[in-house]
Structure 1
Amino acid sequence: MTQRLAAGPGAEWGVLPFVALVLAALLVGVSKTAVGGVATLSVALFAAVLPARESTGVLLPLLLVGDVLAVRAYRGHADRAVLLRLLPSVAAGLVLGVVFVARTSDVVMRRTIGVLLLTVAVHHGWQRARTRFRSRARAREQGPEQGQDRQDRGRQGVAEDAPTVRQHRVRTVFFGLVAGFATMVANAGGPAMSLYLLSSGFGVLGFLGTGAWFFLIVNLVKVPFSVGLGLITADGLALDGLLALAVVVGAGVGRALVHRIDQGVFERLVLVFTALASVDLLR
């Protein structure tokens, strides 16, 4: 396991821990402009090299660098109505996260967020599997032509069983609370937000544009809380200065890849990376 190190110019860095942090910063950039789910790997890598509380403070400024780059790239693709619906429950989740961080230990923080993310990922995967099962069952009942039409619509993101207005509101509140709490506790709100946007039927560009504005706003709001809790420090910012270029490079790589990603592959990647990072946080 990677050796845990204290952040700061005076720390004795080994090669592997520093390479792990550079890779994590690179993935931050990729996650902001291409595959959002890989950001959870960044969270896991930072938590592997640094103590959990310290890692959140070091990672936040790097996420903001990525947020700014993502907003510049995809600002025209954001759904403002979705943002407005999410913000109240996200704000409540942030407040709960602040209280939790102030009163809990490193290990409890890491494991709590791991359980949350894994639960959300498994639930969404189960829903997708159930929808595919129902689609195939109906296809067998209604004949090959209608069945093929339903499968084609499913691949294009058309839901077989559209949620009611009440279900949609409940889902918005739930994911908003989880995203706000998770992002305050461990900069890990991305998976919850990703799953919400996927379940709402967003394509790749709408997903990235809405997510970019969401996290720029939320991460800016988190800064004063993080400073007050002692998560953002001068030593951590010095380390961020060394890693910021990797975020910029990763964002460029992501922009080069985004138009080559199939929607189905994109969704599967988000789920897989979310689950992997969640399991790692449970250790």
Structure 2
Amino acid sequence: MVELTPLMWSVLALGALVVGLSKTALPGGGTLAVALFAAVLPARTSTATLLVLLIVGDALALLMYRRHADWKTLARLAPAVVAGLIVGAVFLALANDDWVRRTIGVILLVVVAVTFWLRRRTAGSSALGQGGRAASIGYGTLGGFTTMVANAGGPVMSMYFLASRFEVKAFLGTAAWFFAIVNIAKLPFAVGLGLLDAHTLLIDLVLVPAVLLGGLAGRLLADRMNQAVFERVVYALTIVAAVYLLF
């Protein structure tokens, strides 16, 4: 059992609010929630607690954006994501926490740099161009890997969707389906490892309203955010996530 003080509950509530915002308006921002939960809860409890709240956020995002998904993109990504999940599970079993964080931080910075370069090189069209299959394999594998080891796949997949030049709601709809499927697939592993228990679920139950509030606020924000601002925010949040994980 983890005894939570009012300050600790406040930090967790802020993290839950960020989960809702990241699912409905600010992709890539979910890594801030990872940091906030890790600052309060033991590592295993943090991972399991956050996973349940991410699934709640996924459900809310699907209610709002389910009709905007690009299913061809999701189908292309699926095999590589499964491979990334497997590699991530193996890496998680072998590496310590510092190696996990720093490896993901380096991956995120490299992905940001490559995505920015591709978009500058192919202004006005999809940055993936003729290399779409290779990009799906690369981004998909990294997305599966990072979400498995640290619930940090959001920034990687955000860069892929930016490279694909999705408009805001297509971006959010495709991301909603992607993470709903991936996070539900991770749930049996969490149960099998004994990470989810009555105490963890009780914490989640208390925090669900904050996820819903963040999600509704995010929807209002997304309706008012133009494409250029949206893309800058995604880049900024991804870089912040990478720097946090590195240092």
Q: TM-score, normalised by structure 2?
A: 0.92
Find the residue that maps to 2:224 and give its secondary structure.
coil
1:271 to 2:235 alignment: yes
Matched residue type, 2:149 = V
CA contact (8 A) 1:52 1:106 kept: no
In structure 2, how many angstroms separate the alpha carbons of the residues matched to 1:33 and 1:208?
A: 7
Moved beyond 6 Å, runs of 4+: none
Partner in structure 1 of residue 90 of structure 2: 99
1:213 to 2:177 alignment: yes
Matched residue type, 1:111 = R
Taking only the aligned residue pairs, the percentage that are identical comes to: 52
Partner in structure 2 of residue 163 of structure 1: 129
Partner in structure 1 of residue 223 of structure 2: 259
Matched residue type, 2:199 = D
Aligned 1:61-72 pairs, distance under 5 A: 61-72=52-63
Matched residue type, 2:190 = S
Partner in structure 1 of residue 145 of structure 2: 181
Partner in structure 1 of residue 164 of structure 2: 200
In structure 1, how many angstroms separate the alpha carbons of the residues matched to 2:143 and 2:199?
A: 27
Matched residue type, 1:96 = V
C-alpha deviation, 1:92, in angstroms: 0.6
CA contact (8 A) 2:24 2:222 kept: yes
In structure 2, how many angstroms separate the alpha carbons of the residues matched to 1:80 and 1:198?
A: 16
State the aligned residue count: 247
Find the residue that maps to 1:232 and give its secondary structure.
coil
CA contact (8 A) 1:21 1:45 kept: yes
Partner in structure 2 of residue 88 of structure 1: 79
CA contact (8 A) 2:128 2:164 kept: no
Matched residue type, 1:95 = I
Deviation by residue 1:224-281 (Cα, 9 ceiling, x = unmatched): 1222234333322221111111001111101111111011111111111111122112
Aligned 1:1-283 pairs, distance under 5 A: 8=1, 11-128=2-119, 130-131=120-121, 154=123, 158-159=124-125, 163-164=129-130, 167-283=131-247
In structure 2, how many angstroms separate the alpha carbons of the residues matched to 1:160 and 1:217?
A: 25
CA contact (8 A) 1:28 1:247 kept: yes
Find the residue that maps to 1:222 and give its secondary structure.
helix
Find the residue that maps to 1:36 and give its secondary structure.
coil
In structure 2, how many angstroms separate the alpha carbons of the residues matched to 1:74 and 1:57?
A: 26
Give the unaligned 5+ runs of structure 2: none
Alignment CA distance shift 1:98-1:262 (3 Å) = same
Alignment CA distance shift 1:209-1:266 (3 Å) = same
C-alpha deviation, 1:44, in angstroms: 1.9
Q: TM-score, normalised by structure 1?
A: 0.81
Give the unaligned 5+ runs of structure 1: 1-7, 136-153
